[in-house]
Structure 1
Amino acid sequence: MLIGLIRHGQTDWNLIGKIQGRTDIPLNENGRNQAKLLADRLSQDTYTWDYVISSGLQRAEETASIIAKSLNIPLLPPDGRLIERSYGQVEGTTQEERVARWGDQWRDQDLGQETNDEVRARAMQFLQDMSGQHSNSNILMVSHGSFLAQLYLALFQERFQENIKNLSFTVLEKRDLQWSPILYNCTRHLEETNV
């Protein structure tokens, strides 16, 4: 089984550095173009994909829909476990606003945000369920930056820690009971066209 992990395309909040969390911000035009570029790449890739699934937030759903339509594969109903981390009071703020309100150590304060352990637990439960239900399929999953970062930390500890870019593409292969990375945080499809 392969699972392709995709961060949604760009939004206006991404451009200005606002934390989105569960705030339901749509893709901007560049984000839609990014999704089309990844869909083009996937249509020429050596892997065959059977399904696409996303979180219930519109930026992920629209990214998934663009890809599913381009690849002519089913778009599964959204899975709430793939939703972005809840950031509580921090949602909708820029780095400058966060530091002004709560100081440099804002991440260490209880501002209503979901914990790393909570995000990791639902991410791992999703992977376990997918490998049980679709063990003979290859699935594309469209989610969110912090969610994906926590999933990678749950799977690989400190091995992968770079920033998860918009429309990045990671491929994991299930071998026995382990997930192994084949590709990590790749944005080749965007870099070739300077998007």
Structure 2
Amino acid sequence: MRLFLIRHGETVDNVAGILAGRRDSALTNHGAEQARRLSDYLAENRTSLTRIFSSTLQRAYKTASIVAAKQTTTDLTVSTVPYLIERDFGYYEGKTNRVRKGPDAEEHKKEPGFVDVESKDELAVRADLFLDLHLLPLLDDEAEFGGAAEHVVAVVSHGILLSSLWRRLLLRLGPGSVTVARDVVSNRGPVVLAHLGGWSNTGFLELSIQSVDPELGSELSPADAGSSPPESDATVNVSTLDSPGNSPGEVVPPQLLTESSGIEMPTDQSDVVGDVSVTKNAINAEPSEKEGLRLLEGYRTTILIVDGQQHLQGLKRQRGGIGRAEHDDKQQSMTSFFKKARKD
């Protein structure tokens, strides 16, 4: 499986700097253009999507619809899933994060009808439901065909939910089964597993989840051959990277940080599978977090791109407040308007 976890385009509430949460905040004109750029990029540089899932909120659904429009897959539709909606900020929706984390937080709880922020545990439950009911069955579908057919899946959602979704997926992956592509290591440096980096508007996390032939041990299955994107065609062993302060060729241990402590922790070298490798200890999960979870044994996962923004290179916001205004599907961009005018 090739998996893209994508955040929606810029919204009116993003521009205003307020917490949108369950509010159905609309895309801005700039946000719609970000989605179009992403749509073009995926259509031109990746294998066609076979499935696309989206939050039910319009900012995610419209982003997903724009992405789907350029795909060549027959009968590809956007499947909306309520589990993928953004965190419920309760009382604080429509307010700034400064208000939420300000000195009057305890006083807010005394307000009539106060609703607290959705907890991380509640987010995790929704993420697990999506994985178990929608995503992991697609891996079973691939297995039935013996790896001859690969799903290419896009999940369009919201930054906080996507972070929870990635972490819940990470908890299911086997020891030493996660590798990191060369570009991720060279561009981002230390890898923080549980927090790979915030999702920018239309930024995406790209993963390859491939079945490993048990007879080959750590070797890749045929389905994994050539699965890396053009700009990231290899994985790298961080222990051989040169870094500031180190002599060329000096051994540098992989830098994996735990979620709770933030302390650097080298991976267990016995779990290294030729590339940057991840042990379950790097996640620092409580045993209770893994109870009842379906673990992905026999799969190798490669982190190919983190917060991908290649499609946004050269994109400029329309001036005069137009870019920040709410997008209307009937509107034209200034570029398309003038192109049409020249044809007339």
Normalising by structure 2, report the TM-score.
0.51
Greater shift, 28-37 or 126-135, is seen at 126-135
SS of the equivalent of 1:171 reads strand
In structure 1, runs of 5+ residues without a counterpart are none
> What code does the residue aligned with 1:125 have?
L
* C-alpha deviation, 1:68, in angstroms: 0.6
Q: What residue identity is the alignment partner of 1:142?
A: V
Q: In the alignment, which of 100, 111, 136 is matched to residue 131 of structure 1?
A: 136
Aligned equivalents of 1:127, 1:174: Cα separation in 2: 14
Corresponding position of 1:163:
198
Q: Is the 8 A contact 1:51 1:68 kept in 2?
A: no
Percentage of pairs with the same residue? 31
Residues 77, 161 of structure 1: alpha-carbon distance in 2 compared, 3 angstrom cutoff = closer
**How many Å separate the matches in 1 of 2:78 and 2:170?**
27
Give, in whole Å, the separation in 1 of the partners of 2:93 and 2:103: 15
More helix by share: 1
Deviations 1:50-109 (A, max 9, x none): 122201000001001111112244123301111111111111111333326428xx9xxx
1:151 aligns with 2:165: yes
Q: Return the offset for 1:111.
A: 4.9
Q: d(CA) in 2 for partners of 1:150 and 1:32?
A: 25
Pairs aligned (count):
190
Name whichever of 50-59 and 29-38 sits farther off.
Answer: 50-59
Deviation at 1:162, TM superposition (A): 2.4
Cα deviation, residue 39, structure 1:
0.5
Matched with 1:91 is 93
Gaps of 5+ in 2: 143-149, 172-191, 212-295, 318-344
Structure 1 residues 131 and 155: alpha-carbon distance in aligned structure 2, compared to 1, 3 A threshold: closer
Q: Whole-Å Cα distance in 2 between the matches of residues 54 and 164 of structure 1? A: 16
CA contact (8 A) 2:2 2:153 kept: yes
Greater displacement, 123-132 / 61-70: 123-132
Cα deviation for residue 163 of structure 1 reads 2.1
- Distance in 1, Cα, partners of 2:306 & 2:125: 21
Alignment RMSD? 2.4
Secondary structure at the residue paired with 1:71? coil
C-alpha distance in structure 1 between counterparts of 2:128 and 2:47, whole Å:
23
Shift of 1:156: 4.1
Question: 1:46 & 1:139 partners in 2: Cα distance?
Answer: 11
Normalising by the residue count of structure 1, what TM-score does the alignment of the two structures yield?
0.86
How far did 1:17 drift?
A: 1.4
- Pick 1 or 2: higher relative contact order, CA cutoff 8 A, min separation 6: 1
Q: Map residues 18-29 of structure 1 onto 2, 5 A cutoff.
A: 18-29=18-29
Compute the displacement of 1:181 (Å): 2.1
Instruction: Name the counterpart of 2:249.
Output: none
Distance 2:153 2:166 in 1: 17
Work out whether 1:79 is the aligned partner of 2:77.
no
For 1:76 and 1:16, the matched residues in 2 are separated by 28
Shift, 1:194, TM fit: 4.4
Kept in 2: contact 1:89–1:111 (CA 8 A): yes
Question: Are residues 1:116 and 2:103 paired?
Answer: no
